[in-house]
């Protein structure tokens, strides 16, 4: 196996040609009329300034796509203009959205054909860090570069000197320096840990320089846009405080020595105080594997340091008040048994009531099951009365971790491996380790048809997807 990112003789940083993260490209989508967002084939300098640009699919020709930014409670108006050779859609990940705008092809809308358009118009009710990506053949479309940030500003944003996105992706690059297309749909990847990449980018660049100034306080918004890789970051000698998870505020906590683990689709907001002298460089490390990869580096300008913050001067985000606490009394209990995959021993599975043998399932590339059902069924997993608390008990009987994502709601973990968990953070995507049991709870207060699936996109495509109805 080729080592991550180092598959060519040297990374761009080693050659002294690191690219600097450009100023963010913001689409102020709250304005009338609709802002057009156009996914299309293009190229991007993923692998470094000294390598040929890589053919990708990208929103507006940018990887990541333009950052969509609105105020809390504002309406987002975006017209998707599909210039891809495939049908697509846009899902607004983590937004407690109007169901018709959730962008799930085949469930909340038809996929938008090549050359077609679709108007998305919705209120962003919660402040925080969100993102957007296709929800049609997403295992291919996201791997080709289709994703962008959706940032909803607080009524009173916290006092920081800089607010930066940190969009981490891993790409599977072939020997010829282009995206390895032959691996799309590879059953080995689909039945194991998903399609893992060998090249790490941050904001679409290899080991980019992030220009900062000594003494600055930075709000860094990290998102893992990889198809399947769980990532982890640390900030070398810099202290960092986690202030939000999946867009929702948490009580500030310092980063431990293992760094920050981020499953696919999860977001983490951190406060980083740039401590150093003008001219210093400080790496950001990716530490999820035995390799310690430099993901990016802060480059301190020659400007004199800003006055340092006092240790007691901690950023505390205000909670999004609209989230309702789950009420366990009278809750609806839903079981979710996760089975299948390599070494999973799945012998058969159902598709809309019809039982198929594992051989028949493999022929359809369907190798994972929820409660014995393989892939999205005609019938939902459960129908929940609006306003009622739902509790889902996830039991992972597979040999792999899964990043479970619930659409349209945020939930709390209330139990892990039989032990009660108190005051867990709100999340929209939760990692369930192999052989782990996790119980989550949420108030089903958003009517509609909501997908519930593994965000390891190959697992989703190969069966790990179901849906809920809130009446």
Closer Cβ to Cu ion, 104 or 403, answer by number: 403
Of the ranges 342-350, 416-424, 445-453, 457-465, which one interacts with Cu ion (CB under 5 A)? 457-465
Q: Compute the distance between CA of residue 97 and CA of residue 445 in angstroms, rounded to an integer.
A: 11
Of residues 158, 106, 156, 438, the one with CA closest to residue 315? 158
State the minimum distance, in angstroms, from the CB of residue 149 to Cu ion.
23
Q: Which 231-250 positions form the footprint of Cu ion (CB under 5 A)? A: none
Closer Cβ to Cu ion, 93 or 402, answer by number: 402
State the minimum distance, in angstroms, from the CB of residue 459 to Cu ion.
3
State the minimum distance, in angstroms, from the CB of residue 143 to Cu ion.
15
Closer Cβ to Cu ion, 101 or 143, answer by number: 143
When computed from its CA atoms, the radius of gyration of the chain, rounded to whole angstroms, is 22
State the minimum distance, in angstroms, from the CB of residue 137 to Cu ion.
17
Closer Cβ to Cu ion, 297 or 459, answer by number: 459
Closer Cβ to Cu ion, 5 or 407, answer by number: 407
Q: List 150's β-bridge partners, or say none.
A: 68, 130
φ, ψ (nearest 5 deg) of residue 458: -70, -35
- The token pair at 461 is 């495509």
Closer Cβ to Cu ion, 216 or 458, answer by number: 458
Closer Cβ to Cu ion, 137 or 459, answer by number: 459
Closer Cβ to Cu ion, 67 or 373, answer by number: 373
Of the ranges 131-139, 166-174, 329-337, 454-462, which one interacts with Cu ion (CB under 5 A)? 454-462
Closer Cβ to Cu ion, 62 or 403, answer by number: 403
Cβ burial of 362 (10 Å; 0-12, 13-18, 19+) is middle
Closer Cβ to Cu ion, 168 or 456, answer by number: 456
Closer Cβ to Cu ion, 319 or 337, answer by number: 337
State the minimum distance, in angstroms, from the CB of residue 462 to Cu ion.
9
Cβ burial of 460 (10 Å; 0-12, 13-18, 19+) is buried
CB atoms within 10 A of CB 437: 16
Answer yes or no whether residue 228 interacts with Cu ion by CB under 5 A: no
State the minimum distance, in angstroms, from the CB of residue 322 to Cu ion.
30
Helices (H), 150-209: 187-191
State the minimum distance, in angstroms, from the CB of residue 184 to Cu ion.
17
CB atoms within 10 A of CB 312: 5
How far separated are the first and last CA of the chain, in Å rounded?
Answer: 49
- The token pair at 460 is 């989703």
Of the ranges 36-44, 129-137, 265-273, 447-455, which one interacts with Cu ion (CB under 5 A)? 447-455
Answer yes or no whether residue 192 interacts with Cu ion by CB under 5 A: no
Helices (H), 155-286: 187-191
Q: Which of 29, 220, 459, 462 binds Cu ion (CB under 5 A)?
A: 459
Of the ranges 77-85, 100-108, 349-357, 450-458, which one interacts with Cu ion (CB under 5 A)? 450-458
Q: Which 389-418 positions form the footprint of Cu ion (CB under 5 A)? A: 402
Helix (H, G, I), strand (E, B) or coil at 12: helix
Do the beta carbons of residue 354 and residue 374 sit within 8 Å?
no
Answer yes or no whether residue 456 interacts with Cu ion by CB under 5 A: yes
Q: Compute the distance between CA of residue 300 and CA of residue 360 in angstroms, rounded to an integer.
A: 58
φ, ψ (nearest 5 deg) of residue 257: -65, -25
Non-local (6+) Cβ contacts of 139 within 8 A are 184, 185, 195, 227, 457, 458, 460, 461
Q: Compute the distance between CA of residue 234 and CA of residue 262 in angstroms, rounded to an integer.
A: 11
State the minimum distance, in angstroms, from the CB of residue 227 to Cu ion.
11
State the minimum distance, in angstroms, from the CB of residue 341 to Cu ion.
8
State the minimum distance, in angstroms, from the CB of residue 396 to Cu ion.
9
Q: Compute the distance between CA of residue 399 and CA of residue 77 in angstroms, rounded to an integer.
A: 42
Helix (H, G, I), strand (E, B) or coil at 260: strand
Answer yes or no whether residue 367 interacts with Cu ion by CB under 5 A: no
CB atoms within 10 A of CB 329: 5
Do the beta carbons of residue 101 and residue 121 sit within 8 Å?
yes
Q: Which three-class secondary structure string do you get for 316-359?
A: CCCCCCCCCCCCCCCCEEEEEEEEECCCCCCCEEEECCEEEEHH
Answer yes or no whether residue 454 interacts with Cu ion by CB under 5 A: yes
State the minimum distance, in angstroms, from the CB of residue 193 to Cu ion.
8
# residues near Cu ion by CB under 5 A: 4
* Site of interaction with Cu ion (CB under 5 A): 402, 454, 456, 459
């Amino acid at each position: 196996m080729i080592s991550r990112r180092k598959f060519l003789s040297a990374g761009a940083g080693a050659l002294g040609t690191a690219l600097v993260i450009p100023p963010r490209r913001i689409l102020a989508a709250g304005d009338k009329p609709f802002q057009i967002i156009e996914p299309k084939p293009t190229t991007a300098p993923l692998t470094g300034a000294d390598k040929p640009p890589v053919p990708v699919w990208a929103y507006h020709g940018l990887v990541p796509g333009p950052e969509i930014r609105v105020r809390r409670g504002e309406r987002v108006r975006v017209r998707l203009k599909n210039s891809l050779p495939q049908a697509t859609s846009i899902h607004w990940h983590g937004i407690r959205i109007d169901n018709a705008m959730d962008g799930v092809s085949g469930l909340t809308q038809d996929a938008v054909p090549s050359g077609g358009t679709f108007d998305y118009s919705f209120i962003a009710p919660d402040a925080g860090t969100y993102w957007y990506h296709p929800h049609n053949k997403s295992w291919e479309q996201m791997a080709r570069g289709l994703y962008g940030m959706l940032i909803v500003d607080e009524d009173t944003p916290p006092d920081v000197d800089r607010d930066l996105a940190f969009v981490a992706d891993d790409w599977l690059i072939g020997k010829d320096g282009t995206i390895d297309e032959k691996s799309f749909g590879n059953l080995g990847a689909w039945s194991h840990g998903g399609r893992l990449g060998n090249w790490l980018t941050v904001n679409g660049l290899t080991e980019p320089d992030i220009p900062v100034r000594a003494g600055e306080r930075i709000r860094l918004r990290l998102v893992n846009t990889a198809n399947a890789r769980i990532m982890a970051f640390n900030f070398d000698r810099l202290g960092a405080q986690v202030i939000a998870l999946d867009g929702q505020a948490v009580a500030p906590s310092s980063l431990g020595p293992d760094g920050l683990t981020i499953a696919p689709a999860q977001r983490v907001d951190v406060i980083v105080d740039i401590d150093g002298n003008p001219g210093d460089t400080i790496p950001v490390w990716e530490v999820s594997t035995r390799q310690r990869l430099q993901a990016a580096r802060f480059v301190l300008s020659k400007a004199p340091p800003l006055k340092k913050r006092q240790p007691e001067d901690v950023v505390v985000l205000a909670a999004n008040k609209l989230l309702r606490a789950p009420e366990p009394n009278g809750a609806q209990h839903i079981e979710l048994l996760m089975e299948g995959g390599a070494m999973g021993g799945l012998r058969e599975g159902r598709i809309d009531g019809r039982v198929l043998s594992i051989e028949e399932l493999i022929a359809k590339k369907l190798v994972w099951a929820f409660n014995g059902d393989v892939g999205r069924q005609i019938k939902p997993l459960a129908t929940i009365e609006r306003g009622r608390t739902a509790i889902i008990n996830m039991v992972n009987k597979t040999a792999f971790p899964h990043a479970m994502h619930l659409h349209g709601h945020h939930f709390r973990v209330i139990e892990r491996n039989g032990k009660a968990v108190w005051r867990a953070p709100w999340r929209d995507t939760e990692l369930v380790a192999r052989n782990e049991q996790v119980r989550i709870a949420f108030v089903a207060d958003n009517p509609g048809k909501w997908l519930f699936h593994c965000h390891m996109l190959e697992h989703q495509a190969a069966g790990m997807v179901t849906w809920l109805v809130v009446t």
